[in-house]
């Protein structure tokens, strides 16, 4: 079980590294000057590759988490309210990941309507999600 838990943590950390950096690329894309096609093309390529890689990291993180939860029973039973809260955070992280994909498609279609400041704030969401998830797992406050 400790190997599964270790790989789960590694894949979650890697997935979140992508979620930390992808919106930063969006900040740069939102600041591209009109007519800077080479810069926009380069940033879109980076964003596409990072989105694909981040998605590939998310899948084993989810599978291993489900194995720990459902097979090994981590967080099951009474007195494990922290797990319900953590699963809510996981659902929010999945939604954030999905929203990153939608925003990337908007950039690709030249349909972005948000400015770089909005993306700077959007970039802070995964930091909050990961912080809360780690506190819930380590402290188990309820």
Contact 104, 48 (CB under 8 A): yes
Count of domains observed in the chain: 1
Per-residue pLDDT at 12: 98
pLDDT digits (tens, 9 = 90+) for 56-75: 999 999 999 999 999 989 98
pLDDT digits (tens, 9 = 90+) for 6-44: 999 999 999 999 999 999 999 999 999 999 999 999 999
Q: 27 lies in which domain range?
A: 2-139
Among residues of the chain, what percentage have pLDDT more than 70? 100
CA-based nearest residue to 100, from 131, 82, 126, 71: 126
Contact 54, 15 (CB under 8 A): yes
37-66 helix and 2-30 helix, angle to the nearest 10 degrees: 160
What does pLDDT average to over the chain? 97
Tokens of 8: 């789960």
pLDDT confidence bin for 88, thresholds 50/70/90: very high
79 has a pLDDT exceeding 90: no
pTM of the predicted model, to two decimals?
A: 0.94
Per-residue pLDDT at 104: 98
């Amino acid at each position: 079980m400790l190997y599964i838990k270790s790989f789960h943590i590694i894949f979650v950390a890697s997935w979140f590294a992508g979620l930390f950096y992808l919106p930063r690329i969006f900040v740069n894309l939102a600041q591209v000057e009109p007519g800077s096609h080479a810069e926009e093309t380069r940033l879109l390529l980076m964003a596409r590759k990072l989105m694909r890689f981040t998605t590939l990291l998310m899948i084993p993180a989810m599978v291993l988490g489900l194995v720990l939860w459902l097979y090994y029973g981590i967080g099951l039973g009474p007195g494990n309210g922290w797990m319900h809260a953590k699963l809510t955070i996981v659902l929010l992280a999945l939604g954030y990941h999905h929203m990153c994909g939608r925003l990337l498609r908007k950039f690709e279609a030249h349909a972005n309507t948000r400015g770089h400041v909005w993306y700077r704030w959007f970039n802070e969401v995964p930091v909050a999600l990961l912080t809360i998830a780690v506190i819930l797992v380590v402290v188990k406050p309820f």
